[in-house]
Chain A
Amino acid sequence: MDLIEKHPILEFKHSKKVKFSFDGIEMEGYEGEPIAAALHANGVRIYRITPAKEQTRGFFCAIGKCSSCFMVVDGVPNVRTCVTPLKTGMRVETQLGKGVIPMDA
C-alpha cells in the first residue's frame, strides 16, 4: 500500500488490516477507515464513470458532499466511499452511470 512511512510530526495508528475486493481484485485496507482512502492507498484512482459523457471521476472532497466518489458497495450504488468505513469482505465496484438500485434489499 502507498502509505506514509516516515513523518516528522505524525504517528499513524492504523486499525486492523482487512481484505476487501475492488472489481473482483483482492486488496487490503484498514477497518473503519474510508473505503476511498483504502482504494487510493492501493493505487486506484477511477471510482466511477459518469452516465452521459462517460467521464472518469474519483476522490475529490473527502467530506461526503460532492458525489465524485460514488461507487457500488456490496451491490448498492451511489455509496459515498470517502465517508463510508471499510469492513472486511466488502465488495467494492466501479460505478457505471447511475447504478442500479437493488430492489430486494
Chain B
Amino acid sequence: MSATLEAASLGCHVTLVDSDLALGGQLIKQTHKFFGSKDERAGTRGFKISEILLEELNSYKGTVEVHTNCTATGFYKEDGVVSCVIGEDEYFRIKPEKIVMATGAQERLLPFPNNHLPGVYGAGAVQTLMNVYGVVPGKKVLMVGAGNIGLIVSYQLMQAGVEIAGIVEAMDKVGGYWVHAAKTRRLGVPIYLRHTIREALGDKIVEGAVIQEIDDRFQPTGKEIKIDADVICMAVGLTPTCELLWQAGCEMVFVPQLCGHVAQRDLFMRTSHKDIWVAGDASGIEEASAAMVEGRIAGVGVAKALGHGEASEHSGRLEEFKRRLADLRGGEVGQKICQGISCCTVNEWGV
C-alpha cells in the first residue's frame, strides 16, 4: 500500500494485487499501539493505520486499480508477464513496466509429533480469527514463542476472553519487549523459559501438549510437563515470502538477521532485476513501521525509473525516508537488522 501511494503521488498508474480479502496486510489484525517514531504513527493501533492508508489510497481512484482476493501466482521472466488468479479460478495476466514485490512473510513451524492436528495454529492465523472476524480461537491456548508476536497475541487472546495455559520459550530470556512480557505476567500467565514443545496430544484434534526443559544445547532434559489446551499457537518467527523473486531470477542471499533468503537491493530497494523492487517483510523480517517506509522508498524508485517526478524530488524523498528508517532502527534490535541489511545492499547496480 505504501509503495502504491508513493508511486501514485508521483504520477504513476498502479495496479495493486493482494491475496487477502482486504488490503492492509498484517495491520488489519494488530490491535496494539505501535512503537517507533511519531513519523510512523507511534501510539496508533495497527488496524487504525491501515484505515488511514486505505483512505489515502481512495484519493487515487483514477490512477490506482485494486484487486483483492487476488494472488500473483507467477512471474515469467521470458516476457515479464505476471499471472494472477482472483479467488480460486478466475485467471488473468498482466505485463507491468515495473513491479514492486511486497509479498510479506510466512510463519515458521516447529517439527514435533502431531503438529498436523487441528488446533495447532499460526499466531497470525489466530489474530485473523479473533481480531478480524471476531471468532473465539479456542478455550485454552498454549503459546509457543515469547518474542513480540507470542507475547502480544497472548495478551490479545486474554482481551478476547481466552485463557492462556502458558508461554513456552526455548531461549533463557524473553525475546520481545519487556512491556509486553510484563502485561502478560501481571495477569498471571506462566512463561516457561528454556522449554520446548515435545508433542501435541490428541487423536483427531488438539487436547493438550507436552513441554520439557532444554539445556544449553537445546537438548531435552528434566521432567515432561503435560499442559491442557485446545489450541497450540505457534509464534516461532517468520520467513520472507520470496517465491516470485526467485522466479524472476533476482540475486538472492541468505541473511540470518533478516530470517531467510532475501533479494539483494540497492538504496531504492531495486533488486538485481532492473524492473523489480522489493519492500517490507519480503525483503527481510522487521517491524511493520519499517516495512511501510521501505514501501515508500520502492515507490519513489519505481517512479524515478519511469520518469515521473523531478530528480530533486526523488533524492529529497529518499533522504527523508532514509532518515526515518534510521530512527526506527536506532535500538538494539535495529542494530541486528542493519547488520543484515548491509549483507544484501549494493550501492548501485552496475549496468
Q: In the bound complex, do residue B121 and residue A59 qualify as a contact, i.e. CB atoms below 8 Å apart?
A: yes
Q: A61-B106, A62-B124 are in contact. Are A37 and B129 (CB under 8 A)?
A: yes
The answer to whether A62 and B125 have CB atoms under 8 Å apart is yes
Apart from the given pairs A9-B159, A61-B107, 6 other A-B contacts in the complex at a CB distance below 8 Å: A3-B136, A8-B159, A33-B133, A34-B133, A62-B128, A80-B88
User: Is B135 within 8 A of A37, CB to CB?
Assistant: yes
Whole-angstrom distance between the Cβ of A1 and the nearest chain B Cβ: 8
Q: Is the CB of B118 within 8 A of A59?
A: yes
Q: In the bound complex, what is the Cα–Cα distance between A83 and B71 (angstroms)?
A: 11
**A4-B135, A10-B31 in contact; A60/B45 too (CB < 8 A)?**
no
Q: How far is the CA of A46 from the CA of B121 in the complex (A)?
A: 13
Q: Which residues of A contact B106 (CB under 8 A)?
A: 61, 63, 65
* B159 and A85 contact, CB distance less than 8 A: no
Q: Does B134 contact A (CB under 8 A)?
A: yes
Chain B proximity mask over A25-64: 1 for CB below 8 Å, otherwise 0: 0000010111001001100011100100001111111111
Query: A23 contacts the other chain (Cβ, under 8 Å)?
Result: no
Given the contacts A4-B160, A64-B71, A83-B19, A40 and B205 also touching, CB distance less than 8 Å:
no
Given contacts A64-B19, A85-B21, whether A4 and B122 have CB atoms under 8 Å apart is: no
Q: Once the chains are docked, how many angstroms separate the CA of A102 from the CA of B128?
A: 32
Q: Which residues of A contact B134 (CB under 8 A)?
A: 3-4, 7, 10, 12, 14
- Min CB distance, A23 to chain B, in Å? 15
Q: Is there an interface contact between A4 and B136, defined as CB atoms closer than 8 Å? A: yes
A21 at the interface (CB under 8 A from B): no
B120 at the interface (CB under 8 A from A): yes
- The answer to whether the Cβ of B56 comes within 8 Å of any Cβ in the partner chain is no
A-B contacts at CB below 8 angstroms, number: 104
Q: How large is the interface on A (under 10, 10 to 19, 20 to 34, 35 or more residues)?
A: 35 or more
- Nearest residue (CB) in A for B119 is A45
**Complex interface: chain B residues within 8 A of A46 (CB):** 118, 204-205
Chain A: CB-nearest residue to B22: A32
Query: CA A45 – CA B137 in complex, angstroms?
Result: 10
A contact patch SS: loop
A79 within 8 A of B: yes
Contacts of A84 in B (CB 8 A): 87-88
Chain A residues contacting B122 (CB-CB under 8 Å) are 60-62
What's the least CB distance linking A11 to chain B, in Å?
9
Name B205's contact: one of A1, A12, A45, A79 (CB within 8 Å): A45
Minimal beta-carbon separation of A57 from chain B (angstroms): 6
Q: Which 8 A-B pairs have the closest CB atoms?
A: A58-B118, A62-B125, A12-B134, A62-B128, A37-B133, A45-B118, A41-B135, A2-B136
Q: Evaluate contact between A40 and B124: CB separation under 8 angstroms.
A: no
> Shortest CB–CB separation between residue A39 and chain B, in angstroms?
9
Residue B43, interface by CB 8 Å: no
B116 at the interface (CB under 8 A from A): yes
Distance in angstroms between the alpha carbons of A4 and B159 in the assembled complex: 10
What string of 1s and 0s marks CB contacts (under 8 Å) between B108-130 and chain A? 00000000111111101100111
12 contacts between A and B (CB under 8 A): A2-B135, A3-B136, A4-B134, A9-B31, A32-B21, A37-B129, A40-B137, A46-B118, A46-B204, A47-B118, A59-B121, A61-B107
- The reply to whether the CB of B345 lies closer than 8 angstroms to some CB of chain A is no
**Residue in B20, B117, B130 whose CB lies within 8 Å of A63:** B20
Chain B nearest CB, measured from A4 CB (Å): 5
> What residue of chain A has the Cβ atom nearest to residue B26's Cβ?
A63
Residue of A nearest to B125 (CB): A62
Q: For residue A92, give the distance in angstroms from its CB to the closest CB of chain B.
A: 14
Closest chain-A Cβ to B55's Cβ sits at a distance in Å of 17
In the assembled complex, the CB of A31 is this many whole angstroms from the nearest CB of chain B, namely: 12
A57 to B128 alpha-carbon distance, docked (Å): 18
